[in-house]
A = this chain, B = another copy of it.
Amino acid sequence: MSDSHSQLRLVRAGIDTYQQPVVYMHRDCHVCRSEGFTALTRVLARSGDREVVATLNVVVDDHLELDVAALSEAAWTILQPVADAVAVFSHPEPPASAPALRAKVFGRRLGETDFLALMRDTVENRLSDIELAAFITASAGERLDVEETIALTKAMLAVGNRIDWGSGAVLDKHCVGGLPGNRTTPIVVAIVAAAGHRIPKTSSRAITSPAGTADAMEVMAPVALGLEAMRSVVEREGGCIVWGGSVRLSPADDILIRVERPLDFDSDGQIVASVLSKKAAAGSTHVLIDIPVGPTAKVRSAAAAALLEARLIATAQALGLGLSVLRTDGLQPVGYGIGPALEARDVLSVLRNDAAAPFDLCSRALDIAGALLDVAPGAVVGKGRAVASKLLDSGAALGKFLAICEAQGGFTEPGVAPYVRPVLANRTGQVKAIDNRRLAKIAKLAGAPRSATAGIDSRVRIGKNIQAGEPLFHVHARSPGELDYALDYASAHPDIVEIGTGQ
């Protein structure tokens, strides 16, 4: 059969389906009819020398002409059609990794070639979200042993790019399950680079939170650097803090995370493969993993932390990575600000040794920097924290941080939002609890992270005594409308900061 029977002209649907390629066709178009395509069919589209496997959504009204196929943003990006391009549509062959997926679902152990086939099909978009969900579920808990974790990590590495920094140690840090406001990374990078080490740090933007490290850093310097620009910053200053999205270190992991996030299974094997594949791809040689432990943190107990730690160390060893784990307190938020500019302000006040700098953020950054210095080759173990503290006190860390910002494109002092309004205590008493989830929601309603200066400034901590009429926290916003959204929500939920009046 000639290809012309299954051709349609391509148009852009303008619909964002978050990385998942979708193609829209009219129910009555000749391709749906001759190929027997119906809603949710997986279809192969070829245009020029590119192809994509996409999920079909069927248009049943007259919004779409019969001779066109509309592509979601993800499908459009992969096919990159020229003007008036056509695509040929057909049924894709079953993915090469289908037998491996099936074997894992039915409880069999997989080997390196199986994981390689699975990760290759993952990055080539040949597995649907429900197939990826099946793989993730079949690998949850004890279903992925340590050897399989190692094989999966190696497979993730193999289907992506790996940065080569030449000889010498490359340090890195990662926090498993972050806390609100826990913006230690810029401080740690500044200290470690000031100590003379190489630390090329990539960070993420906010996904569901009011700010990611990349968002906070972007208030002070450009972060969307490509690989070559990142390399020249690190060659000059030893360290950088850039957005990982423009470097695409572990494309397989980026796709798995899309499905893992809504499932929220926190499986040790997946965490280890995700973190270590990214660190190895980044060319790191010595890595510190910060594991906050607490009843509402990702890792809830010392026993769970010990299991995760053992798997991290075994996998790092197999990859030839030096690795150390620091368990930290996962009970409370860290720092004052929530939102990009407010968190950047906290970071700078710590680096500047301001008397009013948040003590908890400073202390935690020194713990992590110290532990990382202890991992580095040639370190006198146990001396790291003192070295870190000295570099911070002396202003060396601040100098290094400003130099890194300069190398990334220039330092900017964080701005302040034009609209700031306090939320007041409606009674006198002691702070019993803080609802971090709702506090983060107020910061988002106020505009964070879209509006960099928006967010929350909160100096209240559990145990503090407070008078009725005193401010509990301040809302920062870029527009009166956003300020109102946030304040409306705050007054509808007066117990976000819970004040106990009894003894």
Residues in chain A within 8 A of chain B (CB atoms) = 1-2, 5, 12-18, 20, 24, 27, 33-34, 36, 38-40, 42, 57-63, 72-73, 102, 105-107, 128-134, 136-138, 140-143, 208, 258-259, 262-263, 265, 441, 444-445, 450, 485, 488-489, 492
Q: Which residues of B contact A102 (CB under 8 A)?
A: 265
Contact in complex: B131, A262 (CB < 8 Å): yes
Work out how many copies of this chain go into the complex. 2
- Measured between beta carbons, the chain B residues less than 8 angstroms from A27 are 16
A-B contact pairs, 25 of them (CB 8 A): A1-B488, A5-B488, A14-B59, A14-B61, A14-B63, A15-B24, A15-B59, A15-B60, A17-B40, A33-B450, A34-B445, A36-B208, A36-B441, A36-B444, A60-B73, A106-B141, A106-B265, A107-B142, A128-B262, A129-B130, A130-B259, A130-B262, A131-B263, A134-B263, A134-B265
Q: Are B130 and A16 in contact (CB under 8 A)?
A: no
CB neighbours (8 Å) of A15 from chain B are 24, 57-60
Contact A16 B39 (CB under 8 A): yes
Residue on B nearest A108 in the bound complex, by CB: B141
Smallest CB–CB gap between A177 and chain B, Å? 16
Among A1, A27, A73, A105, the most chain B Cβ lie within 10 Å of the Cβ of A1
Residue of B nearest to A210 (CB): B36
B489 engages A1 (CB within 8 Å)? yes
On chain B, the residues within 8 Å of A61 by CB distance are: 12, 14
Q: A16-B57, A105-B137, A107-B143 given. 5 additional CB < 8 A pairs?
A: A36-B208, A40-B258, A42-B262, A105-B140, A129-B130
**Bound-complex Cα distance A445 to B37 (A):** 11
How many angstroms between the C-alpha atoms of A34 and B15 in the bound complex?
Answer: 20
From residue A360, how far is it (CB to closest CB) to chain B in Å?
Answer: 26
- The reply to whether B18 and A105 form a contact with Cβ atoms under 8 Å apart is no
